[in-house]
Structure 1
Amino acid sequence: MTKRMDDKVVLVTGGASRPGLGAAIGERLAAEGAIVVLTDIDLPGVEETAALIRAKGGNASAAKHDVALQEDWDSVVTALLADHGRLDVLVNNAGILDVAGMGSDRAVGALRSQFEVNVAGSFIGTQVAVRAMRKSGGGSIVNMSSVAGLVGFRGSASYAASKGAVKMFSKSVALEVAAENIRVNTVHPGIIRTNMQDQGAETNSDNYDAIEAAIPVGRLGEPEDIANCVLFLASDESTYVTGAEFIVDGGYTAQ
């Protein structure tokens, strides 16, 4: 039976953390027939994620990758093209969360580090992917933003700034490459049950308790909720969708 991602070659960054969005996305796309290359700065962790996907019958491999480094992007994509011949989908998922309020001595450092990974990492990856996709007639790029890139969150100014930047550069690139059959969209998760979210809850507990209590559907999201949205954007079901933002937040930003 034909699957939604049969034989599509997919690169997913930030795949080591479990529970995490990258791992869930890799597993979901592989279950639909994709050839998945997972990357992360944590090589043992991402190799374990790939092994778990293979144990379930999926096609997955792993590579070490610092998304903030141009040379790592060039190396990873060159190897992927040598192995598989093309890149159909890039999911720029890798990111960091440093909750440092404006009154913190770390505020400027947090801003710089999050822009290096969350913004520059996604920007470089998008650029490298566009070059690869041009050679094979098109593709889909999914850049992971956040609801913090849409509305304000107390204590998260630098993180919110980085995720807002991801949204806006993605829209601009989408316009630049639309005629080349390359789609660029963003996904904006709400409060999802991941290791990163646990970190944020620990360092910003008062604000996170209030945020969680305000989710209209009455629960935290699961990584699979995000993976399902990414599956749509990665598949041929979304060929008329580009420059758009997809909010998966249990209704939080509808208020």
Structure 2
Amino acid sequence: MNQPVVLITGALTGIGRATAIAFAREGNRVVISGRREEAGQALAAELRTLGAEAEFLRADVRFEAEVRSVVEQTVERFGRIDVAVNNAGTEGQSALIVEQSSANYEDTFAVNVLGVLLSIKHEMRAMLAQGSGSIINLSSVAGQVGVAGASVYVASKHAVEGLTKSAALEGAAAGVRVNAVAPGPVATEMLDRFVGGSEEGKAGFIATIPARRAATPEEIAQTIVFLASDKARYLTGQSIAVDGGYTAQ
């Protein structure tokens, strides 16, 4: 068996789910992770109908023992990890900075920053041992610009960008690439929550996008698949904005 082994955290909805399906359709062996057992097993079964070997491993990325276990079980099952997509994330609570709470900071950073750090830590250990690998972190345009009313989320995604660059420098000479994908608005439940469930708010946000629409999860997934491939084998330490022109303004 020489099909690449792909591990995806936060794989049960939105971009993570679309990414799992995209890799499965290309014949990869796919390990999906998330916190909901029933949904995870259902998605793994769906991936198998596409002809892929697929496994679900339950994990909460806030806890190192669970992250380590997922990586170790993946290596034990398939012998290696060729691609890791660190997608688990939360939008946290939107509020003006003068109204932000330490609880929201702790909750948001536990998933978006600590979860990515722990994932990179254990994925990179496995990849360094095998002498190759590609890690792709999910950032956001909020990791490249400021967004009024979302300071904690913005700060967490800026941290993901920093982790990506630093990890890329540590892995480059050993053949391990680390990049980030930074989506603009994507047609997911997270976008609905981010704008407070308001169709007016969503329309107003999308109106700021030069492309005048949100991305589909599948469009983000295809960028991730490209970054993971040998077609991008000299690309590391970068954050690719997939944002309909938002950060070009």
1:194 pairs with 2:188:
yes
* Paired amino acid for 1:183: R
1:244 pairs with 2:213:
no
Contact between 2:96 and 2:148, CA under 8 Å: does it hold in 1? no
TM-score relative to the length of structure 1: 0.92
* Paired amino acid for 1:213: A
Out of 178, 181, 185, the position equivalent to 2:175 is 181
Structure 2 distance, partners of 1:144, 1:105, is 27
1:225 pairs with 2:219:
yes
Contact between 2:89 and 2:111, CA under 8 Å: does it hold in 1? yes
Out of 23, 34, 39, the position equivalent to 2:28 is 34
Measure how far apart 1:53 and its partner are.
1.7
Map of 1:7 onto structure 2: 3
Map of 1:16 onto structure 2: 12
In angstroms, what is the RMSD of aligned CA positions?
Answer: 1.6
Map of 1:85 onto structure 2: 79
* Paired amino acid for 1:134: L
Unaligned runs of 5+ in 1: 1-5
Contact between 1:27 and 1:58, CA under 8 Å: does it hold in 2? no
**Matching of residues 144-223 of structure 1 within 5 Å:** 144-202=138-196, 208-223=202-217
Measure how far apart 1:99 and its partner are.
2.8
Measure how far apart 1:64 and its partner are.
0.6
Out of 91, 108, 127, the position equivalent to 2:121 is 127
Map of 1:3 onto structure 2: none
Measure how far apart 1:109 and its partner are.
1.4
Q: More displaced, 22-31 or 43-52? A: 43-52
Contact between 1:226 and 1:248, CA under 8 Å: does it hold in 2? yes
Taking every aligned residue pair, what percent have the same amino acid on both sides? 40
Structure 2 distance, partners of 1:68, 1:205, is 32
Measure how far apart 1:198 and its partner are.
1.5
Q: SS in structure 2 opposite 1:177?
A: helix
* Paired amino acid for 1:90: A
Structure 2 distance, partners of 1:15, 1:47, is 11
Measure how far apart 1:106 and its partner are.
5.3
TM-score relative to the length of structure 2: 0.95
